[in-house]
Homo-oligomer: A and B are copies of this chain.
Amino acid sequence: MTDLTPTARSRVKRLHERGAYDFATIAAILDAGLLCHVGYIIDAQPYVTPTAYWREGEHLYWHGSSASRMLRTVEKGVDVCFTVSHLDGLVLARSGFNHSINYRSVMLFGRARKIEDQAAKLRALESFVEHLFPGRWKQLRPATTQEVKATTVLSMAIEEGSAKVRTGWPHDDEDDYSWPVWAGVVPVQAVVQSPVPDERLSDTWEPPAYLADLRHLGLSSK
């Protein structure tokens, strides 16, 4: 996997010491998420659409209905900004100014390509389900030709972008450390609760083993 080279649009400008361009850091942040925010332009207006995504190697994927305005715009190969962010904590300092948040984020630039070949599209959708729930794809009612046709899958190379990460303690002004107020970090996590069976599921079904641990999606168990 190739590390990224900072460019005019991807170089982290503010607090550049928080920036990273190595592939491993970027991939780890991407893999710890489910929802991205895709930025694109229609008629000089920016739009930011939240959508599910997944990564395979050096490519990102996202998908949806072939009727989606976002997908129909982005599949034309327009410039996209693809952002993923995780809130990791609230950082309470001795001054309002030094309050912060702990986070991990990735911002990527590029153009997406529509997967036209139906077999390749089906393989991509299988990868998505298997990424979420390893072993589930073969348990499902198989996809129909019509369903695959009605789905658009986009792919974008991870070529240009950056990660930005803040961790750790508040950074107070030296004179402020003696100020009489509590300071520290309140960690935040995305947590899954117990699976809730569909009301139309017969009650002989136990939740499948692949739901027991969703840490690969950045989700902790309670």
Contact = CB atoms under 8 A, between A and B. Distances in A.
A79 B44 contact: yes
A220 B219 CA distance: 15
A81 B179 contact: no
Contacts of A169: 198-200
Complex copy number for this chain = 2
Interface stretch (A18-26, A82-90, A112-120): A82-90
Interface of A: 9, 13-14, 34-35, 37-42, 44-50, 52, 64-65, 67-69, 79-83, 85, 87, 90, 92, 94-97, 99, 101, 103, 105, 107, 109, 125-126, 129, 132-133, 136-137, 139-144, 147, 150-151, 169-170, 172, 176-177, 179-201, 205-208, 211, 214, 219-220, 222
16 contacts: A9-B42, A14-B68, A39-B48, A41-B41, A45-B79, A48-B48, A50-B85, A96-B147, A136-B181, A169-B199, A182-B195, A182-B197, A182-B201, A183-B198, A184-B197, A186-B193
